[in-house]
Amino acid sequence: MTTPSSPRPPPVIRLEGVTRVYSAGSNAVHALAGIDLVIEAGEMVAIMGASGSGKSTMMNILGCLDTPTAGRYELDGTSVVGLSRNELADLRSRKLGFVFQGFNLLARTTALENVELPLLYDRSGRFTGRESPAPAALRRVGLGARMHHVPGELSGGQQQRVAIARALVTNPSLLLADEPTGNLDSHTSIEIMALFQELNAQGITIVLVTHEHDIAEHAQRIVEMRDGRIVRDAPVTERRMAAPAQAAAGVAA
Amino acid sequence: MRKRALFGIATRSILRNKMRTLLTMLGIVIGVAAVIVMVALGQGAQTMIETQIKGLGTNMLMIMAGSSSQGGVSQGAATFNRLTIPDAEKLAREGTTLAAVSPVIFSRGQLIGGVGNWRTAIMGVSPNYQVIRDWPAQSGSFFTEADLRSVRRVVVLGSTVANALFPDSDPVGQQVQLRNVPFTVIGVLTPKGQNAGGTDQDDTVIIPYTTAQAHLAGHSRIGQIIASTFSPGDIPAAQEEIRAIMRESHKLAPGEDDDFTIRNQDDIAAAASGTTRVMSMLLAAIASISLVVGGIGIMNIMLVSVTERTREIGIRMAIGARSSDVLSQFLVESIVISVAGGLIGIVLGYGASIALARATGWAVAMPPQAALIAVLFSAAVGVFFGFYPARKAAALDPIQALRYE
Ligand SMILES: Nc1ncnc2c1ncn2[C@@H]1O[C@H](COP(=O)(O)OP(=O)(O)OP(=O)(O)O)[C@@H](O)[C@H]1O
Ligand SMILES: [Mg+2]
């Protein structure tokens, strides 16, 4: 998918001096106080930091759900600053996939229908007249046998897989996951990380937020935040690899 | 976003809350049904009146005092009453297109006789009246020219009066007191039923106009002159002829307005059905208030639904829905509810109209376009009352919506 050609492709993410100020009444909260960050295509980055350090705020900006108060943000080489609500929505539809801590699936809606949801809002016409990519996306996350189950009939890990399939179905350049394992036990968390590693190996750029060090170490690079700034940005020296076989066993049904 | 997908989302979320949706629809259902029943009753009454008036005979003309220059017959006190017996006599003498002419003196009074007394309408006319109205006697006979000329105190009873005072016997030959003046009953007329205005035409007694002028003090004023032509085709010519004769009789100078009005059955039918049309529109307007109430019900539930589904809206926005997608989703939902309610209301309304017609014998007429109007109207209600909640949903901030518990 992201075969590197001789002129380097632009980084998927380039943040320069990004700030985000919430004006809560009289006092302003500097949730982001000047962030510079570059993430190249194909990277898998974990963002860590204490509660309130601005991780979610940054993810929202990366995900085009929010815009910086100041600074520049380029997604896939194009600037996102100053875009309208509709343009941001189209960017989310075309380039981004979201995975949330609380899964955020539509209740009483089957896995397949949940995964098909982003296709409904596609305006590029990439998927019209073609076979729906939703079943393939579900098979990709190991849920080929659970397509017609509703979230209430799925375990937490399985629900998160559906959410990942939903994020993947439109072939995004960037997968954003804010505490994707926050609601899962450690065993299931490892399974989800195995899936992320597998998808990353297939070329998808992934940025995820986590509080746990051993989860973060599944990424290639860890960015640490404190008080709205990046205080450490380093590659993982001993990257943990979750065995894909182990992951597959977890969903065999 | 494809229209079919929108419709699918809407129906699915509606079906998820069947009971709630049903209750929400109820307002629209009742509103549309009420409007349909009112329209059906109004239309029925109108057609019934028109056929009744046409049934009176299309070759009848009425001449009334007062000008109609303002479009209607002015019957105000200011109008100088200028219909006279000589007018009627002149019309009868000179009107070549007129088959029969009769003055009509209207009055009311007490009739004593038979088993009691009865307050009824009194009409003083000439024997021609029977010809003009085509009103045969079921017993005895109408009075004659001789009775008229001799100012005889003879009376012909309408069937309602005859049934009331002489339930078990034939009144012909009986003595009665009309306003304390003794009269002899010489005939009973066949029943004619209700007239356009809904009054019982048989609740009347008919006497010679000469007798009315002589014996019923203070009631010599001629209310109208009625005439019939030889055929319905003569009506336009007859109207012109009557006008010329009347102007001559009233000695009106050229350029002076008519001080009388001539009306044919079509005019009367139009006036009467105009009244019922106004009535039925009024009823439909009142019924449509419940449509508005139903619309408010939809708005209420849609607002609840938007709040309940805040997180869903956030999810949809996060995965690429534009505000307009969310707006149309909720708008389509409220339209589906209201149009479904409208369709049920149409079925119910038509059913109720038919049942009402069977149970009461009232005439109902169901114009097919009423159904179309009802559907369009309920869709409009859905758009109007769904717009505010839908806009509220579309204006949500995705981050806040996602965080909503
Ligand atoms: N809508 C808002 N209005 C005002 N302040 C906000 C808003 N959202 C976040 N903040 C503030 O911004 C700062 C960063 O919040 P953020 O949610 O990014 O933290 P976080 O790193 O994701 O924390 P956690 O690990 O608990 O999820 C916090 O001080 C928070 O109170
Ligand atoms: Mg957070």
Residues 6+ apart with CB under 8 A from A57: A20, A31, A32, A66, A228
Number of neighbours of residue A86 by Cβ within 10 angstroms? 13
pLDDT of B369 reads 80
Q: Which of B212, B226, B223 is nearest to B109 (CA)?
A: B212
- By CA distance, what is A90's nearest residue in B? B320
User: Nearest-CA distance from B399 to chain A in Å?
Assistant: 7
Ligand 1 pocket check for A57: Cβ under 6 Å: yes
B101-115 residue pLDDT tens: 999 998 889 999 888
Q: Which of B237, B258, B279 is the last residue of a domain?
A: B258
Strand order in A13-24's β-sheet? A27-39, A13-24, A70-75, A78-79
Among B305, B322, B399, most A C-beta atoms within 10 A, so best to mutate, is B322
Which of residues 176 through 215 in chain A touch B, CB cutoff 8 A?
none
Q: Does B319 contact A90 at a Cβ distance shorter than 8 Å?
A: no
Same domain as B387, residue B240:
no
Same domain as B222, residue B103:
yes
Residues 6+ apart with CB under 8 A from B285: none
Say how many Å lie between the CA of residue B50 and the centre of ligand 1. Answer: 76
Same domain as B274, residue B248:
no
| Distance of alpha carbon B13 from the chain centroid | 45
Find the mean pLDDT for residues A111-132: 90
Phi-psi region of B290 (alpha: psi -120 to 50; beta: other; left: phi over 0): alpha
A128 or B307, greater pLDDT:
B307
Q: Does B319 contact A65 at a Cβ distance shorter than 8 Å?
A: no
Question: What residue has token string 């590693």?
Answer: A197
Q: Which of B196, B223, B258 is the last residue of a domain?
A: B258
B5-9, B25-29, B155-159, B247-251: least confidently modelled range: B5-9
Say how many Å lie between the CA of residue A22 and the centre of ligand 1. Answer: 9
Residues 6+ apart with CB under 8 A from B153: B181, B182, B183, B184, B207, B211, B215
User: Nearest-CA distance from A6 to chain B in Å?
Assistant: 32
Q: Which domains does chain A have, with CATH numbers?
A: 41-67+90-249 (3.40.50.300)
Kindly state the greatest CA–CA separation across chain B: 102
Confidence of residue B77 (pLDDT cuts 50, 70, 90): very low
Number of neighbours of residue A100 by Cβ within 10 angstroms? 22
User: CA A80 to CA A85: how far, in whole Å?
Assistant: 11
Confidence of residue A250 (pLDDT cuts 50, 70, 90): very low
* B75, part of any domain: no
Phi-psi region of A13 (alpha: psi -120 to 50; beta: other; left: phi over 0): beta
* B374, part of any domain: yes
Say how many Å lie between the CA of residue B97 and the centre of ligand 1. Answer: 99
Q: Are A159 and A105 in contact (CB under 8 A)?
A: yes
Tokens of B56: 């009176």
Please say if the pLDDT value at position B182 is more than 90.
yes
ipTM, two decimals, is 0.91
Q: Are A88 and A78 in contact (CB under 8 A)?
A: no
| Distance of alpha carbon A31 from the chain centroid | 20
Same domain as B203, residue B100:
yes
* B183, part of any domain: yes
A222 or B252, greater pLDDT:
A222
A96-100, A160-164, B19-23, B220-224: least confidently modelled range: B220-224
> What are the phi and psi torsion angles at B368 (to 5°)?
-60, -30
Among A65, A121, A170, whose Cβ lies nearest the Cβ of B325? A121
User: CA A210 to CA B221: how far, in whole Å?
Assistant: 104
pLDDT of A252 reads 40
Q: Are B194 and B201 in contact (CB under 8 A)?
A: yes
User: CA B107 to CA B212: how far, in whole Å?
Assistant: 9
Supply the DSSP string of A14-37, one letter for each residue: EEEEEEEEEEETTEEEEEEEEEEE
Please say if the pLDDT value at position A156 is more than 70.
yes
Number of neighbours of residue A39 by Cβ within 10 angstroms? 20
User: CA B264 to CA B61: how far, in whole Å?
Assistant: 5
Among B16, B319, B328, most A C-beta atoms within 10 A, so best to mutate, is B319
pLDDT of B56 reads 63
Same domain as B277, residue B250:
no
* B65, part of any domain: no
Q: Does B321 contact A122 at a Cβ distance shorter than 8 Å?
A: no
Ligand 1 atom closest to Cα of A60? Answer: 18
B117-160 residue pLDDT tens: 899 999 999 999 998 888 889 999 999 999 999 999 999 999 99
User: CA B195 to CA B121: how far, in whole Å?
Assistant: 14
Find the mean pLDDT for residues B364-384: 86
| Distance of alpha carbon B81 from the chain centroid | 29
* B265, part of any domain: no
Say how many Å lie between the CA of residue A50 and the centre of ligand 2. Answer: 9
Buried b / exposed e across B36-69, counting CB within 10 Å, b at 16+?
bbbbbbbbbbbebbbebbeebebbbbbbbbbebe
Q: Which of B380, B378, B385, B386 is nearest to B347 (CA)?
A: B378
Ligand 1 pocket check for A210: Cβ under 6 Å: no
| Distance of alpha carbon B9 from the chain centroid | 46
Query: Which percentage of chain B shows pLDDT scores above 90?
Result: 42
A86 touches chain B (CB under 8 A): yes
Closest ligand (CA of A23)? 1
Q: Which of B336, B372, B282, B401 is nearest to B12 (CA)?
A: B336
- Which residue's CA is the nearest one to ligand 1's atom 28? A52
The H or E element spanning position A177 is strand A174-178
- Which residue's CA is the nearest one to ligand 1's atom 14? A54
B325 touches chain A (CB under 8 A): yes
Confidence of residue A8 (pLDDT cuts 50, 70, 90): confident
Find the mean pLDDT for residues B308-318: 94
User: B69: helix, coil or strand?
Assistant: coil
Tokens of B184: 């002899």
User: B116: helix, coil or strand?
Assistant: strand
Query: Which percentage of chain B shows pLDDT scores above 70?
Result: 92
- By CA distance, what is B2's nearest residue in A? A120
Please say if the pLDDT value at position B52 is more than 80.
no
Q: Which of B220, B236, B258 is the last residue of a domain?
A: B258
Please say if the pLDDT value at position B306 is more than 60.
yes
Confidence of residue A248 (pLDDT cuts 50, 70, 90): very low
pLDDT of A245 reads 47
CA-based R_g, chain A, Å: 18
Same domain as B376, residue B311:
yes
Q: Does B399 contact A66 at a Cβ distance shorter than 8 Å?
A: yes
Q: Which of B61, B85, B84, B176 is nearest to B122 (CA)?
A: B176
Please say if the pLDDT value at position B72 is more than 80.
no
A116-120, A221-225, B43-47, B184-188: least confidently modelled range: B43-47
User: CA B65 to CA B334: how far, in whole Å?
Assistant: 58
Pairing of strands B204-208, B154-157: antiparallel
B68 or B205, greater pLDDT:
B205
* B62, part of any domain: no
Same domain as B34, residue B97:
no
Same domain as B122, residue B247:
yes
Number of neighbours of residue B349 by Cβ within 10 angstroms? 28
Q: What is each CA distance from A134 to A20, A130, A160, A176, B105, in whole angstroms?
A: 36, 11, 15, 19, 89
A197-218 residue pLDDT tens: 999 999 999 999 999 999 999 9
- Which residue's CA is the nearest one to ligand 1's atom 10? A31
The H or E element spanning position B224 is strand B224-229
Same domain as B220, residue B168:
yes
B185-216 residue pLDDT tens: 999 999 987 776 677 889 999 999 999 988 88
Q: First vs last Cα of chain B: how many Å apart?
A: 28
* B63, part of any domain: no
B312 touches chain A (CB under 8 A): yes
Domain containing B151 equals 82-258
Ligand 1 pocket check for A55: Cβ under 6 Å: yes
Closest ligand (CA of A54)? 1
pLDDT of B78 reads 42
Same domain as B386, residue B300:
yes
H-only helix segments in B56-96: 85-94
Q: How many CB pairs under 8 A join A and B?
A: 61
Same domain as B275, residue B399:
yes
A247 or B169, greater pLDDT:
B169
A170 touches chain B (CB under 8 A): yes
* B96, part of any domain: yes
Judging contacts by C-beta atoms under 8 Å, the chain B residues touching residue A120 are 1-2, 5, 321, 325
Pairing of strands B154-157, B116-125: unpaired
Q: How many domains does chain B have?
A: 2
B341-355 residue pLDDT tens: 999 999 999 999 999
Which of residues 110 through 149 in chain A touch B, CB cutoff 8 A?
117-118, 120-122
- By CA distance, what is B398's nearest residue in A? A65
Ligand 1 pocket check for A54: Cβ under 6 Å: yes
Pairing of strands A205-209, A174-178: parallel
pLDDT of A253 reads 37
pLDDT of B192 reads 83
Number of neighbours of residue A52 by Cβ within 10 angstroms? 14
H-only helix segments in B216-264: 235-249
Tokens of B142: 């109408």
pLDDT of A246 reads 46
pLDDT of B143 reads 94
Q: Does A85 contact B315 at a Cβ distance shorter than 8 Å?
A: no
C-alpha dihedral sign at B40, B46, B52, B54: negative
Same domain as B180, residue B113:
yes
DSSP class of B117: E
Q: Does A121 contact B321 at a Cβ distance shorter than 8 Å?
A: yes
Closest ligand (CA of A48)? 1
Q: What is each CA distance from B126 to B10, B89, B100, B147, in whole angstroms?
A: 74, 11, 10, 10
Q: Does A86 contact B399 at a Cβ distance shorter than 8 Å?
A: no
Strand order in A44-49's β-sheet? A96-99, A174-178, A205-209, A44-49, A221-226, A229-235
B215-235 residue pLDDT tens: 886 666 788 899 988 887 888
Q: Are A179 and A231 in contact (CB under 8 A)?
A: no
Question: What residue has token string 């600074």?
Answer: A71
Among A60, A121, A166, whose Cβ lies nearest the Cβ of B399? A60
